[in-house]
Chains A and B, each alone.
Chain A
Amino acid sequence: MSIVVDSVSKRFGDFQALNDVSLEVRDGSLTALLGPSGGGKSTLLRVIAGLETPDSGKVVIAGEDATAKPPQRRNVGFVFQHYAAFKHMTVRKNVAFGLTIRKRPQDEIDGRVNELLELVHLDGFADRYPSQLSGGQRQRMALARALAVQPRVLLLDEPFGALDATVRKELRLWLRRLHDEVHVTTVFVTHDQEEAMEVAEQIVVLNHGTIEQVGAPRDLYEKPANEFVMRFVGPVSELSGRFIRPHDVEILLERTDGAAEATIDRVVHLGFEVRIELSLGDGESTWVQTTRGKAEELELDEGQTVWLRPEVEPVSV
């Protein structure tokens, strides 16, 4: 189901967490709220869930104004960074919680829980307690619990933030595949641009309580609306006072029109990628990203003089 956020503002004391934020999330889409901590992304998610009340503005879920509804009447699934597992219940009871509250018949509950445990690869763990699970398993249990009630939208607040790098990567891919299977409208919060790019169809960049840009991952990377988005979604280097992706700079061995002269300070081999650190004529330093093949072809070496030319139009400050 679609979500519409209309001019929502929220203030905590002196801190303006959200400032007149409007956003539309398409039915069945997978959206990331991306931004630095304190940017307002978690607050926005919690406003959608009803866990925070906005000072002004509206939240419409599936065409229905939900602003005044308490969380238990919104039918949203919410997954917390630190799992929020019910510690005194087994995995089965945790997943069944929403259905038990809704007083569904026991055989229906059992069937649905088994189905979900299979979906999140936790069949066989049904009778364990959350303290007997790993972080990744707990988060998958929390996801199954949120999905059990067939929510209209699924909201995840930094779902992989507390997990270690390997499990994180695994769960990302898995969330993506899960979304392809279940098709529930999903919004997740992250401060990790790689995570947002890899998982989401649509990324919303939030900073200082306002939306900087909304777009597909590729649009954000290639056509950032401003310097903040550009810096936040990928690596940036500066060339003649303008910003450019370090792999969009061409290295030339001869003086050319429109190319800036530079001296190579350092050549850093990072495997396939090679990073060239340079000093420009005006004393500014910059860096360029290239491939191993290209660096070998040009026989780049420290102390060498080269010319740098943007391959695409850089963004002016």
Chain B
Amino acid sequence: MSSKRSVRTRQSRVSAKHALRFLALGYLLLLLGIPVGLVFFNAFQDGVGAAWDAVSTPEAQHAFYLTMVMVAVAVPLNTIFGVLCALAIVRQRFGGRAVLNAIVDLPFAVSPVVVGLALLLVYGRRDGWVGEWFSEHGIQIIFSTPGMILATMFVSLPFVVREVIPVLREIGTEQEQAAATLGAGPLQTFFRVTLPAIRWGVAYGIVLTTARALGEFGAVSVVSGKLSGQTETATLFVENRFQRFDETGAYAASVVLALLALVTLLAMNVIKPKEGQG
């Protein structure tokens, strides 16, 4: 009697477990798997050769090059800023701390299109707040690479800060104090104790920043001017090809973008800490 009941409870528990898995996987498949899969499928429907040709045109190559420039500038700068900002928020006591903490999240809340327009207002060549000054000194920001980099930095700003803050809180200050009593100055303490202790938070922040910078469309679109072969990033290239009914080109470039993001995520998993050494 009781063993029968326990068998039944176990069975219902097993089927509940399966139902949960089915739900999670089904949701992911419908929302992510099938659409992304179809992108791959469509990219290669005219054959691998056609897809390759579509992404190896000079315009396409320049677009990917420009995207790489965005990543190469925005990611390191946002990483350095993010770590410093997290240190200020967690380790220091000052008046504007709460405000700083809130402002960091702004790029999450504000639509990228608004970010783009805001940048136009500040750096626009004719009516921008400081744009005229830059323009007189021969520096063009809007409709040029610097503006696009600024837009990318703006939208990818919070990731490192948000990943590092909880890790900093968790490690506490005792290790840093121990380092100080052992003779380490502030910089030595940071590089030898704090940074190694938060490295996985930083790494994850970098991965997310990179993925965001690769995929940014809205803000960059507003400030770029979309000149093919000049101010066109990979995402803008995809849009451009799509508007011109070059489906193979659009999907093939999408596949390259998706693969780049995938490589970033995989790199993260490969370098992840081994058990017991974190």
Q: Write the residues of chain A forming the contact surface with B, with a CB cutoff of 8 angstroms.
A: 49-51, 70-72, 74-78, 80, 82, 84-89, 97-98, 101-102, 129, 131-132, 142, 145-146, 148-149
Q: Measured between C-beta atoms, what is the minimum distance from B182 to chain A in Å? A: 4
Q: Please determine whether A51 and B180 come into contact, CB atoms closer than 8 angstroms.
A: yes
**CA separation between A86 and B177, bound complex, in Å?**
11
Q: Please determine whether B181 and A49 come into contact, CB atoms closer than 8 angstroms.
A: yes
At the interface, yes or no: B47 with Cβ under 8 Å from chain A?
no
Count contacts on B: residues with CB < 8 A to the other chain.
20
Encoded as 1 (CB less than 8 Å from any A CB) or 0, chain B from 167 to 207 comes to 00000001101111111110010001100110100000000
Q: Write the residues of chain B forming the contact surface with A, with a CB cutoff of 8 angstroms.
A: 174-175, 177-185, 188, 192-193, 196-197, 199, 276-278
Q: Please determine whether B182 and A97 come into contact, CB atoms closer than 8 angstroms.
A: yes
Q: Measured between C-beta atoms, what is the minimum distance from B211 to chain A in Å? A: 26
Q: Please determine whether B183 and A78 come into contact, CB atoms closer than 8 angstroms.
A: no
Q: Please determine whether A80 and B177 come into contact, CB atoms closer than 8 angstroms.
A: yes
Q: Please determine whether B185 and A72 come into contact, CB atoms closer than 8 angstroms.
A: yes
Q: Please determine whether B183 and A72 come into contact, CB atoms closer than 8 angstroms.
A: yes
Main secondary structure of the interface of B (DSSP, over half): helix
**CA separation between A102 and B185, bound complex, in Å?**
11
Contact A80-B174, Cβ < 8 Å, known A51-B180, A146-B181: yes
Determine the chain B residues whose CB is within 8 A of the CB of A148 once the complex forms. Answer: 182
Query: Considering only CB atoms, which chain B residue lies closest to A76 in the complex?
Result: B181
Q: Please determine whether B184 and A72 come into contact, CB atoms closer than 8 angstroms.
A: yes
Q: Measured between C-beta atoms, what is the minimum distance from A61 to chain B in Å? A: 13
Q: Measured between C-beta atoms, what is the minimum distance from B45 to chain A in Å? A: 49
Contact A87-B278, Cβ < 8 Å, known A72-B183, A145-B182: yes
Contact residue among A102, A129, A142 (Cβ-Cβ distance under 8 Å from B183): A102
Q: Measured between C-beta atoms, what is the minimum distance from A155 to chain B in Å? A: 8
Q: Please determine whether A51 and B175 come into contact, CB atoms closer than 8 angstroms.
A: no
**CA separation between A76 and B181, bound complex, in Å?**
6
Determine the chain B residues whose CB is within 8 A of the CB of A72 once the complex forms. Answer: 180-185
Q: Please determine whether A101 and B177 come into contact, CB atoms closer than 8 angstroms.
A: no
**CA separation between A49 and B174, bound complex, in Å?**
13
Q: A78-B181, A88-B197, A131-B276 given. 11 additional CB < 8 A pairs?
A: A50-B181, A51-B181, A71-B181, A80-B178, A87-B197, A88-B199, A88-B277, A98-B182, A98-B183, A129-B276, A132-B276
Sorted nearest first, the 5 A-B pairs with minimum C-beta distance are A98-B182, A84-B174, A78-B181, A84-B178, A71-B180
Determine the chain A residues whose CB is within 8 A of the CB of B174 once the complex forms. Answer: 80, 82, 84
Q: Please determine whether B180 and A70 come into contact, CB atoms closer than 8 angstroms.
A: yes
Query: Considering only CB atoms, which chain A residue lies closest to B174 in the complex?
Result: A84
Q: Measured between C-beta atoms, what is the minimum distance from B205 to chain A in Å? A: 18
Q: Measured between C-beta atoms, what is the minimum distance from A45 to chain B in Å? A: 11
Determine the chain A residues whose CB is within 8 A of the CB of B185 once the complex forms. Answer: 72
Q: Please determine whether B175 and A75 come into contact, CB atoms closer than 8 angstroms.
A: no
Q: Please determine whether B178 and A78 come into contact, CB atoms closer than 8 angstroms.
A: yes
Contact A51-B177, Cβ < 8 Å, known A101-B188, A129-B276, A131-B276: yes
**CA separation between A49 and B179, bound complex, in Å?**
12
Q: Please determine whether A71 and B177 come into contact, CB atoms closer than 8 angstroms.
A: yes
Q: Please determine whether A75 and B183 come into contact, CB atoms closer than 8 angstroms.
A: yes
Query: Considering only CB atoms, which chain B residue lies closest to A90 in the complex?
Result: B277
**CA separation between A168 and B174, bound complex, in Å?**
21
Determine the chain B residues whose CB is within 8 A of the CB of A131 once the complex forms. Answer: 276-278
Q: Measured between C-beta atoms, what is the minimum distance from B165 to chain A in Å? A: 19
Determine the chain A residues whose CB is within 8 A of the CB of B177 once the complex forms. Answer: 51, 71, 78, 80, 84
Determine the chain B residues whose CB is within 8 A of the CB of A82 once the complex forms. Answer: 174
**Could you list some 13 contacts between A and B, CB below 8 A?**
A49-B181, A51-B177, A71-B177, A72-B180, A76-B181, A80-B174, A80-B177, A84-B175, A85-B175, A86-B175, A97-B184, A129-B276, A146-B181
Determine the chain B residues whose CB is within 8 A of the CB of A129 once the complex forms. Answer: 276-277
Determine the chain B residues whose CB is within 8 A of the CB of A98 once the complex forms. Answer: 182-183
Determine the chain B residues whose CB is within 8 A of the CB of A142 once the complex forms. Answer: 178
Q: Measured between C-beta atoms, what is the minimum distance from A315 to chain B in Å? A: 40
Q: Measured between C-beta atoms, what is the minimum distance from A26 to chain B in Å? A: 22
**CA separation between A78 and B177, bound complex, in Å?**
9
**CA separation between A86 and B193, bound complex, in Å?**
7
**Max count, chain A CB within 10 A of own CB: residue among B183, B196, B276:** B183
Q: Measured between C-beta atoms, what is the minimum distance from A262 to chain B in Å? A: 52
**CA separation between A95 and B78, bound complex, in Å?**
35
Query: Considering only CB atoms, which chain A residue lies closest to B277 in the complex?
Result: A129
**CA separation between A142 and B175, bound complex, in Å?**
11
Q: Measured between C-beta atoms, what is the minimum distance from B167 to chain A in Å? A: 12
Determine the chain B residues whose CB is within 8 A of the CB of A86 once the complex forms. Answer: 175, 178-179, 193, 196-197
**Max count, chain B CB within 10 A of own CB: residue among A75, A76, A82, A97:** A97
**CA separation between A183 and B224, bound complex, in Å?**
71
Determine the chain A residues whose CB is within 8 A of the CB of B188 once the complex forms. Answer: 101
**CA separation between A148 and B180, bound complex, in Å?**
14
**Max count, chain B CB within 10 A of own CB: residue among A51, A72, A145, A149:** A72
**CA separation between A86 and B163, bound complex, in Å?**
21
Q: Measured between C-beta atoms, what is the minimum distance from B177 to chain A in Å? A: 5
**CA separation between A75 and B184, bound complex, in Å?**
11
Determine the chain A residues whose CB is within 8 A of the CB of B197 once the complex forms. Answer: 86-88
Determine the chain B residues whose CB is within 8 A of the CB of A75 once the complex forms. Answer: 183
Q: Measured between C-beta atoms, what is the minimum distance from A68 to chain B in Å? A: 15
Determine the chain A residues whose CB is within 8 A of the CB of B179 once the complex forms. Answer: 86, 97
**Max count, chain A CB within 10 A of own CB: residue among B178, B181, B183, B199:** B181
